[in-house]
Amino acid sequence: MEIESLSQKQILSYTQSNSRINIWEGAVRSGKSFASILRFIKFIRYGPPGDAAIVGKTDRTIKRNVIVPMQEMLGTDLRYKAGIGEVKIWGRTIYVIGANDDRAEGKIRGATFAGVLVDEVTLIPENFFRMLLSRLSIAGAQLFGTTNPDSPFHWLKKDFIDRQDLDLSVFSFTLDDNPSLEPLYVEALKREYTGLWRDRYIDGKWTLAEGTVFDMFDTNLHVIDTIPGLADYYVVGVDYGTRNPTAFCMIGYSSRTYPNMWLEKEYYWDSNREIRQKTDSEYAEDLVRFCDGKNVQGLYVDPSAASFKLELLRSGLSPMDADNEALDGIRFHASLLSNGTFKICRNCTHAIGEYGCYRWNSTAQRRGEDKPIKEHDHMMDALRYALFTHFWKRGGVSMRAEDVDRLRNEAWGIQSHGGFFDNAQTISPSFPVF
């Protein structure tokens, strides 16, 4: 893309991101990442000599969000050595560093970088980010980072973006700052996000997560009396507890119905209320009966339930570790509710009850963290395991582009006020942007 075809905001950020720390923040799909990558490429070409780094939550997200777009821009000038976590561009070595937790700090101790591109800064541990800044010790070293808004108490907002005494530039983006977006796609994104998620990812606001997690849930809109049709297949989520309740959920999926996904039945055992704790083998027997007669294509279990997974294997089932990224899973779940893709059958009373009392933790909010209160969350966790792992991660592996396109065509459309898909053959929103 020629620089003349960029938006004014992208050009501004490209030409004026000359501070030590440069942050692109704002709405999803607003063009901020593209502009930051262009600026980083300029740095690789003209910046001071020395090694550089690309940082993200995981190697997989770095490849998807940064390296693949860079390959499309640079072609054979970029060589990606995935096995050793290195990129070579014009003779400069660029290290690929996943920073998923606090232990990642050890990966950069002793390192020296001339430049760093950070994908989704708010998802990086604070101690890692501060250590990373200390590694930028070469004269003229720069950091380029992107982020969606988070809590106004987040350390990035309080300690960096809001300060006036740092060598820092911030560029705020909205959906209107991306010239490549089709108007129908923009409208689709706005329909997908409501409440907290709309404030942050559409309007670009640093907003507190307050009240119920799924504030868009409405029994009149989201609860159905009968299943919409025959399912192509089912997926099952399991939240296993010993002293806490154990919950199973069964989600039907059909490419031929509206809605495309629905919670058809649930299982809930609270040993405190029942005054009897079940054994792993009893839970396994219950799960075998729960799945009996259904075409179950995915069984996703709390990854920490090691003993229970062994018991399921002995029972002839094939459990898979659920992806336990809570916030990403909640966002995906919320988007399915918002656009009408996912419904709950009225007989699933525990799930319906939890939607109304699954709340954000206000104490964590004051620390700048988005965390639900660990109460009334067992069906919510089971649903998140099944929905996010299967329909977004596809068994823990990111979907191929052709899989996303196929599921878009099958499952997504613009919901009208009457509750039906309008122009479903020609208009289909994207999956949520992460």
Query: Higher model confidence: residue 23 or residue 408?
Result: 23
Asked whether the predicted pLDDT for residue 378 surpasses 80, the reply is yes
Asked whether the predicted pLDDT for residue 430 surpasses 70, the reply is no
Same topology between domain 3-180 and domain 219-422: no
* 15-29 pLDDT per residue, tens: 999 999 999 999 998
Asked whether the predicted pLDDT for residue 47 surpasses 90, the reply is yes
- Kindly state the average pLDDT of the residues 217-234: 93
- pLDDT grade for 412, boundaries at 50, 70 and 90: very low
Asked whether the predicted pLDDT for residue 170 surpasses 70, the reply is yes
Asked whether the predicted pLDDT for residue 398 surpasses 60, the reply is no
Selection from 409, 377, 396, 407 nearest residue 58 by Cα: 396
Predicted pLDDT of residue 404:
35
On whether the CB atoms of residues 104 and 129 are closer than 8 A, the answer is no
Asked whether the predicted pLDDT for residue 267 surpasses 50, the reply is yes
Predicted pLDDT of residue 275:
81
Phi, psi of 290 (to 5 degrees): -60, -35
At the topology level, CATH places domain 219-422 in Nucleotidyltransferase; domain 5 (3.30.420)
Beta strands 86-89 and 92-98, pairing class: antiparallel
Predicted pLDDT of residue 379:
96
Asked whether the predicted pLDDT for residue 421 surpasses 80, the reply is no
Q: List the chain domain ranges.
A: 3-180, 219-422
Predicted pLDDT of residue 400:
37
Query: Higher model confidence: residue 335 or residue 418?
Result: 335
Burial of 273 (0-12, 13-18, 19+ CB in 10 A): exposed
* Residue linked to tokens 């720390």: 21
Using alpha carbons, list the distances in angstroms from residue 336 to 193, 263, 343, 353, 372.
Answer: 9, 12, 9, 18, 19
Predicted pLDDT of residue 69:
95
Cα–chain center distance at 226: 31
- pLDDT grade for 394, boundaries at 50, 70 and 90: low
- pLDDT grade for 393, boundaries at 50, 70 and 90: low
- Kindly state the average pLDDT of the residues 221-227: 94
Query: b/e map of 311-345 (b: 16 or more CB within 10 Å)?
Result: bbeeeebebbbbbebbebbbbbbbbbbbbbbbbbb
At the topology level, CATH places domain 3-180 in Rossmann fold (3.40.50)
**Greatest CA span in the chain, whole angstroms?**
70
- Kindly state the average pLDDT of the residues 112-116: 97
Predicted pLDDT of residue 1:
43
On whether the CB atoms of residues 269 and 378 are closer than 8 A, the answer is no
- Kindly state the average pLDDT of the residues 197-212: 86
